[in-house]
Amino acid sequence: FDLSTQSCKALVIDGDLVTLAVGRVHFDTDLPHYRTADGCHRAAGGHVTSPVLMWVEALELALDRLRAQGCPFDRIAAVSGSGQQHGSVYWSGRGVEALRALDPCGGPVVDQLRGAFALEHSPIWMDTSTTQSCRELTSIAGGALAVAGMTGSTAQERFSGHFIRRFVAERGLAEAGAVSLVSSLGASLLVGDVVPIDASDGAGMNLMDIRSRRWHPTLLEFVAPGQVQALRGVLAEPQPPWEVSGAVHGYWAKKFGFTTQCQVIAWSGDNPCAVVGNGLVRPGDIAISLGTSDTALSVLPRVPDQPLPFGHLFPHPMLEGCYWSMLCYTNGDVTRRKVRDEFFADDGGSGDWGAFSQALRETPPGNNGAAGLFFSTDEITPAVSSGPDLRVCRSASGGVSFVEAFPDVRQNARAVIEMRALAIRSHVQKLIPDLLDCRRDADVAEGGECGPQLLLTGGASGNADILQVF
């Protein structure tokens, strides 16, 4: 399953990862009675939510659509899934009981779970209404780096712990039977009981100790002052992402034909699942997406010695003891196009990627000492306000000085591409100084398994000359 922001998709794959059937549900068009736009509701103050019952109904509808295609449910050995990260779900006590009592003769699961949630609308990853909570966490923990060292990320508005804190303050823990993320909601529906959050998705909550992979006592106290034991009662400790959550509940077995031996493997968040989906399964593996914004995902063999004030760290969803990092850069394709249009226009005045690529081919790695910082918007990694582009050149004596323009216009093409490659290299080395050394060691090793890989995706990855820079 892929339970994302705008849709729910169920895929059946065989042992060779060949897709045999797909059941798709688009929330806005297939479930219009929830009145969502792009799968959510937006309100003043940065509040963005999605109806929980919409997700519940969509999961069963996706299975209905698989059945209509003749899906052999009795041959399915295991089910798992991906859920949009950071969305939090609040079961009522009655809801937990209703989930355990699902009846295949009792009508659709959405009808059996009406009233099962203490909040009918779940805050999701686009919600930015928790700014004050982030400030308070940063202050209590001793600064942004302290939060990052504890949880793998600085305090983030979209992270689920802040919404749980709001629920505790506004509604009280007495109204909660259990707390799930979107991912563990999906697994819970299939098992017929509330299952724990997995550690890889749970790291996106500002609540989990990134080293022990258990809820951090200080952060539990921050979320529920004086009520830590009560909070633990509705929030089970995280489970490893590869654990079996349970067998498929009889409701699904009798209605769709799953066997009672069909296992439900812990679901995880969409970003952790993307790490595995991209084949990042060895320490040193790196994937770079060159899109509107640029993203670098790296598999790390351990927790970095020193936290960074930007980026995110999560337990790897497949490799025990390993982690993966996510670094996001806002100055991506728009910034590259800006440089292209300014310096490499064709006869009609439009930007010409052909001329841009030729400039890359005609300038050497290192750009003869020319480097630059180019902006189309504020940068977040690290935090730098947008301003005039900055250019530096190295002189023959080795000195570096700012310049208004490069001596060779072609150097602008290489500088804007090397800007991103060098930033990613620098930041990855700050996380794990010897990570890139491991990559080189694997490259020269004789025999054995394949070494770590570098993958590039996104719009700019279609340009072979840009790829060559990385």
Burial of 178 (0-12, 13-18, 19+ CB in 10 A): buried
Centre a 10 Å sphere on the Cβ of residue 218 and count the other Cβ atoms it contains.
14
Least confident of 46-55, 193-202, 356-365, 446-455: 446-455
Average pLDDT, the chain: 95
Is the model's pLDDT at 451 over the cut of 90? no
Is the model's pLDDT at 318 over the cut of 90? yes
Is the model's pLDDT at 334 over the cut of 50? yes
Task: Give residue 384's identity as a one-letter amino acid code.
Answer: V
Question: Could you give the angle at which helices 333-343 and 411-431 cross, rounded to 10 degrees?
Answer: 160
Q: Which residues pair with 351 in a beta bridge?
A: 345
Task: Give residue 222's identity as a one-letter amino acid code.
Answer: F
pLDDT confidence bin for 438, thresholds 50/70/90: low
Is the model's pLDDT at 42 over the cut of 80? yes
Helical ranges in 143-261 per DSSP H: 144-151, 160-170, 182-191, 199-202, 217-223, 228-234, 250-256
pLDDT confidence bin for 352, thresholds 50/70/90: confident
pLDDT top residue among 346 and 317: 317
pLDDT tens, position by position, 110-158 = 999 999 999 999 999 999 999 999 999 999 999 999 999 999 999 999 9
As a whole number, mean pLDDT of residues 165-176 equals 97
As a whole number, mean pLDDT of residues 374-397 equals 94
Cα–chain center distance at 207: 16
Spatial CA neighbour of 272 closest among 86, 449, 39, 406 = 86
Q: What is the secondary structure of 214-243 as a DSSP string?
A: SB-HHHHHHHSTT-HHHHHHHSPPPB-TTS
pLDDT tens, position by position, 398-420 = 899 999 999 999 999 999 999 99
Q: Domain 2-272: which topology?
A: Nucleotidyltransferase; domain 5 (3.30.420)
Is the model's pLDDT at 446 over the cut of 80? no
Q: Strands (DSSP E) along 301-448, which ranges?
A: 312-315, 323-329, 370-373, 379-380, 383-384, 390-394, 400-402
pLDDT > 90 in the chain, percent: 93
Cα–chain center distance at 179: 20
Q: What is the C-alpha separation between 61 and 26, in angstroms, rounded?
A: 10
Residue 396: per-residue pLDDT: 84
Spatial CA neighbour of 61 closest among 87, 33, 98 = 33
Residue 381: per-residue pLDDT: 95
Is the model's pLDDT at 439 over the cut of 80? no
Tokens read off for 24: 């798709």
CA distances from 2 to 8, 79, 106 (A): 6, 11, 26
Task: Give residue 284's identity as a one-letter amino acid code.
Answer: G
As a whole number, mean pLDDT of residues 347-375 equals 91
pLDDT tens, position by position, 13-39 = 999 999 999 999 999 999 999 999 999
3-class DSSP assignment, residue 437:
helix
Cα–chain center distance at 305: 23
Strand pairing category for 383-384 and 19-26: unpaired
Q: What is the C-alpha separation between 109 and 213, in angstroms, rounded?
A: 33
pLDDT tens, position by position, 75-109 = 999 999 999 999 999 999 999 999 999 999 999 99
Domain map (residue ranges) of the chain: 2-272, 279-331+434-460, 333-420
Is the model's pLDDT at 308 over the cut of 90? no
| DSSP for residue 44 | G
pLDDT tens, position by position, 260-285 = 899 999 999 999 999 999 999 999 99
Residue 449: per-residue pLDDT: 58
Residue 444: per-residue pLDDT: 46
Is the model's pLDDT at 437 over the cut of 60? yes
Q: What is the C-alpha separation between 11 and 22, in angstroms, rounded?
A: 5
The model's pTM = 0.91
